[in-house]
A and B are shown apart, each in its own frame.
Chain A
């Protein structure tokens, strides 16, 4: 029976389903980077490439090692050696890709991901399979399989804890992608794909003409160019392969205060905009100038502030979030000189929340903050306004320790 023979001859066909069970265990036991963001679910499922890629590399080495031991590739064939080698390798790659998609389904994804996210892990499987195939075709099975498996595994996991931080983007193992305000940076995809394509081309050239110095030199040149291109593409990225999200925000204006949220928080837009407007009105009674817009995206103007919340946040959580958002940002001078007002932040944050009247300002705060702000709130509005103005001014610079009312 052809199918039975095929399955018996291809250990990847029965071993990769076992690996699939393991990766399902993996994705189900560890939450995505942001469990309310569809892209994060996809990235979580696709991060199983760190295990499936090395397994595919090991099986590719096994398959090509068998062909090498039987001298099949050197024998006169009706089909070209490339096609003979490609048949088992395509089965390995296909099984690994399928296992990755099963892991994605196990996470519970919705919608389709961008190609920028899909391309890198799928390309990584292809590249590692090519490396395994080259090892299998050139060295003994006893060495090729463990070296392909272990080497690929270390390539996948070592950069995660190594510097420079952008090195990890080249592997296609993007487990830290993406929180709700970010999306995959195209540069990361380009970098990973350049490395993958260079590896595939290098291995392909070496497989086709192993004993030619010219081909070997060309293959190494291709690899070096691909690696350099990959590095140039990702080297300006931080620890995550992301950029600010480009989607359209959903906005609503209440009493001149605009609130903008990501589509995932569409259901909370009305409540958020009401809370933002109520908070802004409350702060105005103390003479403060509230922002004109609260956005989950990147702030585009000084009068806009960035805030964030989870989809299951309560109204009190929203009030705390918009209050913390209006704290003065870290001043530039603090990078080079002392910032005496830094410890005012929790006091001002608690006062801002209390001033909105929408939430308990003190859950989890230190007793000193709670006592001080409680005492402050019992004073006349004018005194509170003066304190708040002084605190905001002090936090915005490095010249003053701010009002004495603390601790």
Chain B
């Protein structure tokens, strides 16, 4: 496990997760003014909606390391360890969301937690097909949602990263991303 952790760059990955958690916890409620492509000037997006991406970039980097062909035939349950590793790193960022919920706004903290899980699931799902794009897709989705997903109070159905916490469709997207992550990574194992 020690070597596996080293290969998975646990210091860098945990560091980025902690930085992400600190950003979410300390500044999650603060709005970042972002221009929208649909007109209407600047629209504030809580930092908690975007900051989890730092941890997800660390997660993508960590999981990209190592020899995946060896891991696929390993006697040890490396896939399970990877899943647990991803869960722990995501949990660290979720702790930051909990702090944000307690100190700033419960709704923002909850939406930040949704985004943390959604970004991580999307990262894992994309990683199964194109490892180098694992963190690009969540980042691009977040930027696209903030730039094109809102018009006034209306949030497009696909713009789950900028939807309020009470938006059921945004949670459905996260569930879909989680299912895709599980399915795509399981499929690779069978091969």
Q: Which chain A residues have a beta carbon within 8 Å of chain B's beta carbons?
A: 22-23, 25-26, 29-30, 50-51, 54, 58, 65, 140-143, 145-147, 149-150, 153-154, 157-158, 160-161, 175
Contact = CB atoms under 8 A, between A and B. Distances in A.
Contacts of B147: 22, 51
A161 B135 contact: no
B132 A145 contact: yes
B35 A161 contact: no
B143 A149 contact: yes
B35 A146 contact: no
Contacts of B35: 26, 50, 157, 160, 175
The 10 closest A-B CB pairs, nearest first, are: A161-B33, A29-B39, A146-B135, A26-B37, A146-B139, A141-B132, A30-B39, A142-B64, A150-B139, A143-B61
B148 A143 contact: no
A142 B32 contact: no
A26 B44 CA distance: 17
Interface string B115-144: 000000000000000011111101110010
B66 interface: no
A22 B140 CA distance: 14
Contacts of A65: 132
B38 A29 contact: yes
23 contacts: A22-B37, A30-B39, A30-B41, A51-B37, A51-B147, A54-B143, A65-B132, A142-B60, A142-B64, A142-B134, A145-B135, A146-B53, A146-B57, A146-B135, A146-B138, A146-B139, A147-B57, A149-B139, A150-B143, A157-B35, A160-B42, A161-B44, A175-B35
B34 A25 contact: no
Contacts of B132: 65, 140-142, 145
Contacts of B37: 22-23, 25-26, 29, 51
B40 interface: yes
Contacts of A153: 143
B31 interface: yes
A372 to B, nearest CB: 38
Contact of B53 (A22, A30, A150): A150
Contacts of A50: 35
Nearest to A22: B37
Contact of B61 (A22, A142, A150): A142
Given A22-B148, A51-B147, A146-B139, 12 more contacts: A25-B38, A29-B39, A50-B35, A58-B136, A141-B132, A142-B132, A145-B132, A146-B135, A146-B136, A153-B143, A160-B35, A161-B32
A149 B31 contact: no
A158 B32 contact: yes
Contacts of B139: 146, 149-150
Contacts of B133: 142, 145
Contact of A157 (B32, B53, B136): B32
Nearest to B39: A29
A140 B13 CA distance: 14
A51 B148 CA distance: 12
Nearest to A156: B35
A143 B57 contact: yes
Contacts of A175: 35
A238 B143 CA distance: 28
B67 to A, nearest CB: 15
> Max chain A CB contacts within 10 Å: which of B38, B42, B50, B143?
B143
A251 B154 CA distance: 48
Nearest to A54: B143
A99 B132 CA distance: 26
A363 B22 CA distance: 54
> Max chain A CB contacts within 10 Å: which of B60, B64, B132, B138?
B132
Contacts of A54: 143
B143 A160 contact: no
> Max chain A CB contacts within 10 Å: which of B33, B34, B64, B136?
B136
A160 B57 contact: no
A92 to B, nearest CB: 16
Contacts of A160: 33, 35, 42
Interface string B68-94: 000000000000000000000000000
A154 B146 CA distance: 12
A54 B143 CA distance: 11
B55 to A, nearest CB: 12
Contact of A142 (B38, B44, B131, B143): B131
Contacts of B143: 54, 149-150, 153
Nearest to A65: B132
A106 B56 CA distance: 37
A26 to B, nearest CB: 4
Nearest to A149: B139
Contacts of B39: 29-30
> Max chain B CB contacts within 10 Å: which of A51, A58, A157, A160?
A157
Nearest to A25: B37
Nearest to A176: B41
Contacts of A22: 37, 147-148
B31 A143 contact: no
A29 B34 CA distance: 15
